[in-house]
Amino acid sequence: MRRRSAGSVGYDRPVGDGYAADQGRIASGTAHGNWLTLGKDGRLTLYAPTDGGLLRWSETAVGGPAWSGPHFVSVADLTDLTVAQGANGYVHFLGRRQRTGSDGSPSVDIVHAIQYQTGRAVTEWRSIGNPHSDRDQGRALGVPIGTIATDGTVHVFVRSASRGLMLRREAPNGKWKAWEDLLGSGIDELPAAVALAGGRVEVCAAAETGVLVWRQAEAGGGFAAPRGFSLRPVQGTVAALETGPDRATYFWTDAADGGTAAWRPGGWPVALGGSPAERPYAVLRTALDGYDCVVLASRGQDGTAVLGLGGTENETNGFWWYALAEHCQGAPALARDGLGRVVMALIDPEGVPRVARQEDGAGLALTRWQRL
């Protein structure tokens, strides 16, 4: 596999309907999850939180380069926004909402909405509640993390007040099941969930004691008690990606050496080098030069974006990192566009989205950054 520098030079002029600052609203950071999605029509959409709701930009044609937006979606009192997409292309939004009651005390719940098609309206935001009936405990509820199984079942995972893992599922018919206590203790606020092609869902979380992994024995079934492993990921950096048939690889920043590690249950973590990440890695599996590859992106400690790539489940053969010149908030996002090209997105320090695409040719070189 030949490699070219994932370079970053200059800026293009804004395209589409203008960028966020021109519209009076800017992104307040980045969402959790997969906030750059590919619709069934082949167009990409980028989502970002903003004061009072979220912003949305969509490609006007398959492969771009023009984008429409930003389109503002109102939803008040969100502290965190997570984006997840199912195999059917539906985009699910999960929010942690904190409101102040008439007595002046805050209360927390989780809200959910769906966008069924690129550029179409978002459904009504509906509360799915809080697993804690006690208001004090409820305020300690973590960030909702979502994944959608192959049958369309929405899985919402959230850290409880006791720092275990809670789950609520929505069946494809729209009916929500009761909250489930998946146990565990001392876990990170940002567990990593992955929906595998065979129908099962797995979750991995950094914890005070190491790593905890929850697995379904079969698609749609219950989750076994978490299995613990004596590993040392930095909390807040774990990401998950299906890298083989019904098999996930987990990526994180290793607390011992400060570099990136890849791990599959049953083996030992493999050091990938690189620099420490601050948030969960953006992860993407794609073909490059005829090779099955994993692409990672993160925000380094100096605030600039970092891109890495290597062979899928072939980490010992080498992993290559490229420091980009772009400063960003939170974690970048990765996706393939409707023409199959790798696209990287970030939110710059001014709250403006920027995107760069894979250039034609060998390896993974990026075009000039485009300001939306």
| pLDDT, tens digit, 9 for 90 and up, residues 335-366 | 999 999 999 999 999 999 999 999 998 989 99
Q: What is the pLDDT of residues 148-181, one digit of tens each?
A: 999 999 999 999 999 999 999 998 788 999 999 9
**How far is 69 from 48, CA to CA, in rounded Å?**
12
Terminal alpha carbon distance of the chain? 32
Alpha carbon separation from 242 to 33, 284, 296 (Å, rounded): 15, 9, 13
Burial group, residue 9, by CB count within 10 angstroms (0-12, 13-18, 19+): exposed
Whether residue 10 has pLDDT greater than 70: no
**Phi, psi (degrees; rounded to nearest 5) at 273:** 75, -150
Burial group, residue 294, by CB count within 10 angstroms (0-12, 13-18, 19+): buried
- The conformational region for residue 62 under phi > 0 = left, psi -120 to 50 = alpha, else beta, is beta
pLDDT at 23: 56
Question: Percentage of the chain with pLDDT > 90?
Answer: 88
Flag whether the pTM goes above 0.75.
Answer: yes
Task: Report the 3 state secondary structure along 115-140.
Answer: ECCCCCCECCCEEEECCCCCHHHHCC
Whether residue 317 has pLDDT greater than 50: yes
Q: Of 18, 33, 25, nearest to 53 (Cα)? A: 25
**What CATH number was assigned to the domain covering residues 28-281?**
2.120.10.10
**How far is 295 from 315, CA to CA, in rounded Å?**
12
Q: What is the pLDDT of residues 272-305, one digit of tens each?
A: 999 899 899 999 999 999 999 999 999 998 999 9
DSSP string, 311-351: ETT-GGG-EEEEEEEEE-EEEEEEEE-TTS-EEEEEE-TTS
Whether residue 142 has pLDDT greater than 70: yes
Q: What angle do CA 58, 71, 329 make, to 5 degrees?
A: 75
**How far is 70 from 30, CA to CA, in rounded Å?**
15
Q: What is the pLDDT of residues 45-82, one digit of tens each?
A: 999 999 999 999 999 999 999 999 999 999 999 999 99
pLDDT at 275: 87
Which residues, 6+ apart, have CB-to-CB distance to 347 below 8 Å? 27, 29, 30, 48, 328, 329, 330, 353, 354
Q: What is the pLDDT of residues 200-248, one digit of tens each?
A: 999 999 999 999 999 999 999 999 999 999 999 999 999 999 999 999 9
Burial group, residue 120, by CB count within 10 angstroms (0-12, 13-18, 19+): exposed
Coil vs helix vs strand at 241: strand
Please tell me the least confidently modeled range out of 101-115, 124-138, 228-242, 320-334: 101-115
The partner residues of 282 in beta bridges, in order of sequence, read: 297
The two tokens of residue 323 are 């420091």
pLDDT at 171: 82
Whether residue 8 has pLDDT greater than 50: no
Q: Of 245, 131, 225, nearest to 183 (Cα)? A: 225
DSSP one-letter code for 29: S
The two tokens of residue 359 are 């250039």
pLDDT at 39: 98
Q: Domain segments of the chain: what residues?
A: 28-281
Alpha carbon separation from 185 to 144, 151, 159 (Å, rounded): 17, 30, 9
The partner residues of 241 in beta bridges, in order of sequence, read: 249
- Kindly report each contact of residues 24-27 with a partner whose C-beta sits within 8 Å and lies 24 or more positions away, as own/partner: 25/50, 25/51, 25/55, 25/70, 25/72, 26/50, 26/350, 26/351, 26/352, 27/55, 27/329, 27/347, 27/351, 27/352, 27/353
